[in-house]
Structure 1
Amino acid sequence: MKQHVICKRIADEAVAALIEEVQLTPKPGLVDTENNGAHHDLSLTKMQNSAHSLHNTFYQMAMLSFNRQPTVEIREQFGAIGRNGEKEMFAVTENSNTHKGAIWSIGLLCSAIARRQGQVLFPQVFNDAAELANLPDQYIPKSKTNGSKVKENYGIPGAREEAQQAFPHIQKFSLPAFLQAAQRMSLRDAKLHTLLVLIANLNDTCLLHRGGPEGLELAKQEAQKLLTNFSISNMKKLDEFYIKHWLSPGGSADLLAATLFVINMSDKLKRGAQHGKVELHVSGKSSGY
């Protein structure tokens, strides 16, 4: 019973984080409550349906890893659950790729938290996710994805490597950025600010796939400018700019959702963010944000 309750909460919060990310408005080039961003095949309804379709996937991933050390067998079972989750996602999205990257990233964090029976410690949660991500899975399909093509063409690591390296962009950028911004902004603005931090610092393979190195650099530069002149009106202008240039930072959106998921799973961080006062403990040291 304890295992079911904890794993259900993990899955509930994983889906909630995906919904929280897609409903965040206004976002540059991404689906939100105002428009579909730089996407002809996506919509708010489709993104929300996709998120809800993944509840069982995240639940199964958590149940698989509950109070268990990672093994190759668990990694292979994790991969099978993820690929089944992709099929369920594609079934409700008419074959649109809405959350393939998030299934990997957030799924690994679901497993990491379940391994510790629902406990979230920093940076252990990211190291645990990386431990599972680095194990081999002989059943990974050989077919190329947009992310693998970008890696092959430009030598840029993607979502797989981000997880295998213990989510450095969450640890170094998005998590501290959000906790700091929550002290001086509304929660909505803090989330938007965090998204900009990710876009400005991540070599987003979605941006690379759409705009090549030039598009990636352009998107990063514009996001960095807005960080020093943040406002909702400027966010809307950036959204128009990204749409005009057909740019969509999907990788950054996935990492934002993963960041929100980890925060919401940590009751202390969630309460602190809501009240504008958070202390994040990393490697035995306390860092105030």
Structure 2
Amino acid sequence: MRQKICKVIADEAVAALFEEVELTPKPGLVDLHNNGSHVDLNHSLMCESALSLHETFYNIALLHYGKTPTTRLREQFGEIGRTGEQLMFTVTNDVNTHKGAIWSIGLICAAIARRKGNISFPQVLEDAGELAKLSDRMIPNQPTNGLNVKKKYGMPGAREEAQYGFPHIRKYSYPTYEKARFNHNPLEAKLLTLLALISNLNDTCLVHRGGLDALEFAKTEAENIMKNFSIEAVERLDREFQQSWISPGGSADLLATTFFISNWITKQQRRFSYGEVSVQVSSE
């Protein structure tokens, strides 16, 4: 039972990464139409990367199944994640495709496994935050784009987002997605969810590439499109992001995480089964 549920968790985690990359159009991000503001990324590479992470997500789920977070578990979580990063880099020839997603989606895998699949919203985010707050003495002391932005601008990044219990998923992307799914077609609902993230998140990927001006531009444009939504407006924003060479990678990671949580809760509410595994999830 434990192994089967953990496999389902990993299956859904990878599926969410596919769902994010295949969403088209996306401003400045890889999709089915173009590579966004990237020369080293493409759709095929993103898919290969996502598939390579299945084992990582499975091992994270297996480790945390039925367990309350401890410092030791946090350090083991970090060890699995760093091993997953190396597997990703091997597949992508050292291109960073999903490092941020390993962190955010990995934490949700752990949170779902902790409750043996029986999660509720926003408790799943609170559980993920509880794990993220614990210390990991093994974290390498090396600079990253996110840390550089934090040092230069005093801006929190992916680590803090998780430690705070993913406030941008709780306040913006998840509510937007759940509401939009009833008022819009699937494509529009997903794009509105992405725009909700871009318009509210201090995306360190955007700031790293274009500074605070780029962040403010992206937030304002995304908010304007949400008020007067059209696919054409999203396509226009994609061109503008590419011209400015900016990309909302942090928003993309949270979008995939939002899909993961929503899909899990929705499917488990229907009490679907995988062989002997049948999990029902509360919708609290």
Bin the TM-score by the shorter chain: over 0.9
Structure 1: how far apart are the matches of 2:268 and 2:80?
29
Pair 1:221 & 2:236 matched: no
Q: How many residue pairs were aligned?
A: 273
Cα distance per residue 1:172-215 (max 9 Å; x no partner): 00000011111111111100010000000000000000000011
**Normalising by structure 1, what TM-score?**
0.92
Structure 2: how far apart are the matches of 1:269 and 1:69?
22
Residue 122 of structure 1 and its aligned partner are, at CA, apart by 1.6
Structure 2: how far apart are the matches of 1:53 and 1:178?
27
1:286 is matched with which residue?
Answer: none
Structure 2: how far apart are the matches of 1:136 and 1:221?
36
2:35 is matched with which residue?
Answer: 36
Pair 1:92 & 2:84 matched: no
Pair 1:5 & 2:4 matched: yes
1:125 is matched with which residue?
Answer: 124
What secondary structure is seen at the aligned counterpart in 2 of 1:89?
A: helix
**Normalising by structure 2, what TM-score?**
0.94
Q: Which residues of 2 match residues 195-274 of structure 1 at below 5 A?
A: 195-267=194-266
Contact 1:264 1:270 in 2 (8 A): no
Unpaired segments ≥5 residues, structure 1: 272-279, 283-289
Counterpart residue identity of residue 41, structure 1? D
Q: Which residues of 2 match residues 86-235 of structure 1 at below 5 A?
A: 86-235=85-234
Residue 267 of structure 1 and its aligned partner are, at CA, apart by 2.9
Change in Cα spacing, 1:270 to 1:257, as seen in structure 2 (3 Å) is farther
Change in Cα spacing, 1:153 to 1:67, as seen in structure 2 (3 Å) is same
Counterpart residue identity of residue 46, structure 2? M
Cα distance per residue 1:13-55 (max 9 Å; x no partner): 0000000000000000000000000000000000000000000
What secondary structure is seen at the aligned counterpart in 1 of 2:29?
A: coil
Contact 1:24 1:33 in 2 (8 A): yes
Change in Cα spacing, 1:270 to 1:50, as seen in structure 2 (3 Å) is farther
1:59 is matched with which residue?
Answer: 58
Change in Cα spacing, 1:122 to 1:161, as seen in structure 2 (3 Å) is same
Structure 2: how far apart are the matches of 1:270 and 1:238?
36
What secondary structure is seen at the aligned counterpart in 1 of 2:165?
A: coil
Unpaired segments ≥5 residues, structure 2: 271-281
Counterpart residue identity of residue 24, structure 1? L
Structure 2: how far apart are the matches of 1:119 and 1:251?
27
Residue 270 of structure 1 and its aligned partner are, at CA, apart by 7.5
Contact 1:72 1:135 in 2 (8 A): yes
What secondary structure is seen at the aligned counterpart in 2 of 1:233?
A: helix
Contact 1:263 1:270 in 2 (8 A): no
Residue 119 of structure 1 and its aligned partner are, at CA, apart by 1.1
Residue 269 of structure 1 and its aligned partner are, at CA, apart by 8.0
What secondary structure is seen at the aligned counterpart in 2 of 1:266?
A: helix
What secondary structure is seen at the aligned counterpart in 2 of 1:201?
A: coil
Counterpart residue identity of residue 200, structure 2? N
Contact 2:269 2:283 in 1 (8 A): no
Q: Which residues of 2 match residues 61-80 of structure 1 at below 5 A?
A: 61-80=60-79
Contact 1:27 1:236 in 2 (8 A): yes
Contact 2:265 2:283 in 1 (8 A): no
Contact 1:263 1:269 in 2 (8 A): no
Query: Which stretch shifts more, 179-188 or 254-263?
Result: 179-188
Structure 2: how far apart are the matches of 1:196 and 1:160?
22
Residue 268 of structure 1 and its aligned partner are, at CA, apart by 5.6
Q: Percent identity?
A: 58
Structure 1: how far apart are the matches of 2:110 and 2:268?
20
Cα distance per residue 1:65-94 (max 9 Å; x no partner): 000111111100000000000001111111
Structure 2: how far apart are the matches of 1:160 and 1:238?
28
Structure 2: how far apart are the matches of 1:97 and 1:270?
35
Structure 2: how far apart are the matches of 1:97 and 1:220?
24
Structure 1: how far apart are the matches of 2:114 and 2:96?
28
Cα distance per residue 1:129-170 (max 9 Å; x no partner): 011101110000000110111111111101100000000000
Change in Cα spacing, 1:281 to 1:4, as seen in structure 2 (3 Å) is closer
Change in Cα spacing, 1:202 to 1:269, as seen in structure 2 (3 Å) is farther
